[in-house]
């Protein structure tokens, strides 16, 4: 009897994993690429990161070089940090509804947390627009 219960439980877990995987895949298909983006207030620097902070894109205009390389590097790092938080927010919003309340801790441990309501998320343009430091 015990073996039958274990097989039943294993099948139930497998079915749940399959449903959750499909729901997550559907959400990602609707959302498109999950990335975080940020740009300086003057638009001279734009960065894009994957969830977890892997830098996937940097765009610099000639104006970005006016304040010197140290300031430029500092601004890129600051923007990458903002973009990483935004990517984590997007990943959280994709997976939290699928994983439910017990998934919050797992998502947080991976750095995927919702941004506070009052934090600038860049609006509806995919997470762009943050003031750069001067």
What backbone torsions phi and psi does residue 60 show, to the nearest 5 degrees?
A: -125, 135
Question: Is beta strand 45-49 parallel, antiparallel or unpaired with respect to 36-39?
Answer: antiparallel
**Which CATH entry fits the domain spanning 33-134: 3.30.1310.10, 3.40.50.2300, 2.40.10.10, 3.30.70.20?**
3.30.1310.10
**Comparing 17-21, 35-39, 75-79, 107-111, which segment has the lowest mean pLDDT?**
17-21
- Listed in sequence order, the residues at least 6 apart from 51 whose beta carbon sits closer than 8 Å to its beta carbon are 34, 35, 36, 87, 88, 90, 91, 111, 112
Prediction pTM value: 0.73
pLDDT at 29 over 90: no
Question: Which tens digit of pLDDT belongs to each residue from 94-127?
Answer: 888 888 778 888 888 888 999 987 765 554 334 4
């Amino acid at each position: 009897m015990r073996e039958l219960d274990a097989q039943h439980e294993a099948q139930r877990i497998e079915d749940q994993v399959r449903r959750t995987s499909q729901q997550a895949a559907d959400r990602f298909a609707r959302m498109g690429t999950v990335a975080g983006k940020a740009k300086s207030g003057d638009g001279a620097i734009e960065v894009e990161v994957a969830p977890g902070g892997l830098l996937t894109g940097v765009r610099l205009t000639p104006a970005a070089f006016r304040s010197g390389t140290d300031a430029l590097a500092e601004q890129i790092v600051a923007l990458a940090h903002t973009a990483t938080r935004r990517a984590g927010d997007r990943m959280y919003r994709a997976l939290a509804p699928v994983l439910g309340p017990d998934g919050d801790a797992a998502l947080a441990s991976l750095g995927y947390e919702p941004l506070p309501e009052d934090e600038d998320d860049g609006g509806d343009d995919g997470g762009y627009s943050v003031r750069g430091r001067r």
